[in-house]
A and B are shown apart, each in its own frame.
Chain A
């Protein structure tokens, strides 16, 4: 349970605050409603590259990190397909340093051609380190391309190729900044041991004077229903073959989200889960196996993936996955099994609320989803799921014509 208060400033900036009486730290989180899904298909990876540029200094403050660090603070950021998130913790006495810096870079960013060139090289090294120089590094990229035909989720946040990053221009940078980085396209959350009114006053002081120029953007292309199974086989220099199957499911605010998440826990949440017990331990088909939902805002994916043991054939592996999804359509999970995955969700929620940073981050995220109350209500949504809902979900989602199967074959 995270107690919070919310207000919207005149310029459209949403501010959410939480008073935490146990921490000596303040957490400041700012979320911009722009992610890889908003990118031009010929300039993918741009939202993430831009996130890097946000640390490259403004006209007034040449380095973002320096004053943060001088204030004993730590900051970082991440980008995903849906949004870009900047977060920072520092001793509560230095809270204003964070607000000053975040307000400054919401409008004063100053990118030179030299800064852009260096940052492109850094991001290309990140691309190489995480996706090209790793066994299985391109696996999720391939699965996205297979599962989506038109929706921008078909590319990963890092982008489709290093060429897209290489080609980014200063003009594109400026346009992107003006379009997406403004008060009414952002959510600010603060968690600290401070009076709520005081926190709202500080938000007004540092962000109230910023201008907002609303911008309407064109709707994203939505993925049409999939009508036939898709398969793809690639060969790579890896020691073991992996099989992944992706199924389309509903969006983040639909009932599918909680149900899908719960089903993924039935299948692979912990060592007692079905896939681990049946396919890893009893049948010894896989070395490891996982079931998860992509968790995107727009309709997302339910993904099954497993790494085969040397004695397992690809057909056996795929058949085993199909058997497990078929079982979900015929035998209802026991009350005990449902209780287990619900307890797990509750525990994860509690463990996740132990520090100020997670709380501020969650507040921004749920407000961005458009349902801030859900941050404290979601546990009830999980509790309400019954066997019927799981049958219905499994029937509708785990159909061959809704599936994309990627075989990542060891050469």
Chain B
């Protein structure tokens, strides 16, 4: 039996759903699964890791871990890897995991498969696929050489498991002196939007340049709010200054895969399609029947978004209220 180490991710004392996805992937392979948890005053979270199948939990607590920092996480995770000597190390391809995992790879001198959307483990072999060119193609990653196999897995790409039996995990505290660090997180500035993040939301309503102004995005926002959706934007809309870049969907923005994606006034440039084509259900609303967005849309509405979107909002509100 091999060993898998899952890097647990918490923010503000709450474990991320992606951590459970990783634990599910690891435990289903029949390997011995351990987790490493870093933070300040987070020992209460070990119970949840246990419920999802971790049999040993490396717990690293320090006041300096109150905020995530690449440097201190790297020190902590490297120590856990040293103690656990895993065959496979899994982390989420979140803003956190994607930030420190390459540094771990550099320190260990091993390869890292990042942003994997498919993963299978048989024995101690990790088989993964990942998108390239923002999903215009996918590739399988072959690990070369010796040493643990490292991968970051895209959140929501693999299924989340249910909590398993009442087994008991061994909690192994690791104490580390975090001194001589060159970087320091001074503060976290919270986003002021009550809406979900475009990369994480189960539904996304996006607008293109046809919206004609930042103010007109109000109708997109209102539709999004009825659905509990995030607001997205095409590159053209972002470059025109209608939305912030963090809302941009596409090859130079975010790649999203929600259950429902509604594209309003977006023609569907190839770089935009790359960023949303794996959405489960795609709706396109556009005046131009030749717009490429209709080629990937499950439901196409040829019409003026300014007329259709507010009416659609009312119709969906009725359904929601039932």
**Binding partners A and B:** no
